[in-house]
Amino acid sequence: MVNLSPTELERYRRQIMLPGFGKEAQQRLKSATVLVTGVGGLGGTAALYLAVAGVGRLILVRGGELRLDDMNRQILMSDDWVGKPRVFKAKERLEDINPDVEVEAIFDYVTPDNVDFLVQSADVALDCAHNFTERDLLNAACVRWRKPMVEAAMDGMEAYLTTIVPGVTPCLSCLFPEKPEWDRRGFGVLGAVSGTLACLTALEAIKLITGCSQPLLSQLLTMDLHQMVFAKRRSYRDRNCPVCGTHSHHYPTSLQLSRALVNSQQSTVNHQQVYFMTLTLTEAAEFRLRTFLLASSKDENATQRGIRVGVEDGGCNGYQYSIKVINAPQADDIVMQQGKLSIYIDAQSAPLLEGVVVDFVDGLLESGFKFSNPNATDTCGCGKSFQAGNCSPAGVPCS
Ligand SMILES: [Zn+2]
């Protein structure tokens, strides 16, 4: 993880002190590269908030020159810049505001020729482009390269926002199979409206990068700023989506099989023999665990024995089946970026389990692994069940 300089620690002190944020979140921001397509009232303002938050590298993509009628909302611009390429002014302003941020300005639109390179260069993309042609290109490339994308768009006083994690959430094409007939050049807009959406867009990216708080996954936030009505709607993935659907050419088989590398081993943690399985996720994925019990254990309590997954600091409480998942953001809905996930199973539970299968929620990968060693007999001597602090330091509960 990158180090933070004394200046950076001071500059970001007020956000580092946020509960759940801390230095680690700041380091993640510093390590991140965010692609922003469009640097107008929406993309430019979102880029501003990413720069002041300390995102290490920004790639801004926007063709075209600044016009006088952009000046009611494009707060990175200045009056003397009218007629010049806005993307260079945006870079200059952002670097003035935060010299620790590296900004790359690309004076171009998103095109079929450049989109793959752009998406591969970034960890997260913000879709703030001014038309659906560019939006569709970016969406498809993000699906192809499994990069998360924050999708933000507006029309007059209305706006919507969602975060797309390929393979996990609906993509833009699932949400809008037919594109709205928006007049991208001509619609009326107030800077405060594009700015409102831009701030929320930046916040989504910060959540994705840091893992702090919940981004809008499979949820579409709609905003009617006429009436100040904000609503969240559940959005659904279209299995037959031409971009992200199961049969889409964007999901080659080789990618599916590389999503997780699974290892299982046997070890001893705090006197207790445990099995632990480590999944090294090579791509973002949402998954659930499914367990199979041995026939002999299908007694009246069997239904109580479902494997539960939990967060690292959840302690032993509630994990009936002695499962410990490390580095998972939340219990029932695990969405991980690249990372390592360790699952511990204590020796008492292990003999009862015939196997554990990892189900990826999107159904694109049938991955299973079984562990088999019912001979382990060591048990923890503490006698406490599911009480945090009384079990192992690693959090493996006694059963
Ligand atoms: Zn889709």
Residue 46 is predicted with a pLDDT of: 98
Residue 176 is predicted with a pLDDT of: 87
Q: For residue 214, what is the DSSP state?
A: -
pLDDT in tens, the chain (399 residues): 799 999 999 999 999 999 989 999 999 999 999 999 999 999 999 999 999 999 999 999 999 999 999 999 999 999 999 999 999 999 999 999 999 999 999 999 999 999 999 999 999 999 999 888 999 999 999 988 888 999 999 989 999 999 998 877 889 999 988 776 665 556 789 999 999 999 999 999 999 998 888 889 888 999 999 999 999 988 887 777 888 876 555 443 222 222 333 344 444 444 444 444 444 444 444 444 444 443 333 334 433 333 333 222 222 222 222 333 322 223 333 333 333 344 444 444 444 444 444 444 333 333 333 332 233 222 333 433 322 222 232 333 333
Residue 258 is predicted with a pLDDT of: 29
* 32-251: CATH number: 3.40.50.720
Q: How far, in Å, from the CA of 393 to the mean position of ligand 1? A: 42
Q: How far, in Å, from the CA of 369 to the mean position of ligand 1? A: 29
Residue 113 is predicted with a pLDDT of: 94
Q: How far, in Å, from the CA of 194 to the mean position of ligand 1? A: 26
Q: How far, in Å, from the CA of 175 to the mean position of ligand 1? A: 7
Q: How far, in Å, from the CA of 174 to the mean position of ligand 1? A: 4
Q: How far, in Å, from the CA of 238 to the mean position of ligand 1? A: 6
Residue 331 is predicted with a pLDDT of: 33
- Rounded to an integer, what distance in angstroms lies between the CA atom of residue 52 and that of residue 322? 43
Q: How far, in Å, from the CA of 246 to the mean position of ligand 1? A: 9
Q: Are strands 353-360 and 366-369 parallel, antiparallel or unpaired?
A: antiparallel
Q: Which two tokens stand for residue 66?
A: 């600044």
Q: How far, in Å, from the CA of 6 to the mean position of ligand 1? A: 44
Q: How far, in Å, from the CA of 167 to the mean position of ligand 1? A: 9
Contact between 37 and 127 under an 8 Å Cβ cutoff? The reply is yes
> In terms of C-beta density within 10 A (0-12 exposed, 13-18 middle, 19 or more buried), how is residue 222 classed?
middle
Residue 237 is predicted with a pLDDT of: 77
Q: How far, in Å, from the CA of 43 to the mean position of ligand 1? A: 23
Residue 54 is predicted with a pLDDT of: 97
Residue 184 is predicted with a pLDDT of: 54
Q: How far, in Å, from the CA of 169 to the mean position of ligand 1? A: 8
Q: How far, in Å, from the CA of 295 to the mean position of ligand 1? A: 40
Q: How far, in Å, from the CA of 253 to the mean position of ligand 1? A: 17
- Rounded to an integer, what distance in angstroms lies between the CA atom of residue 86 and that of residue 77? 7
Q: How far, in Å, from the CA of 254 to the mean position of ligand 1? A: 19
- Rounded to an integer, what distance in angstroms lies between the CA atom of residue 373 and that of residue 88? 62
Q: How far, in Å, from the CA of 177 to the mean position of ligand 1? A: 9
Residue 161 is predicted with a pLDDT of: 97
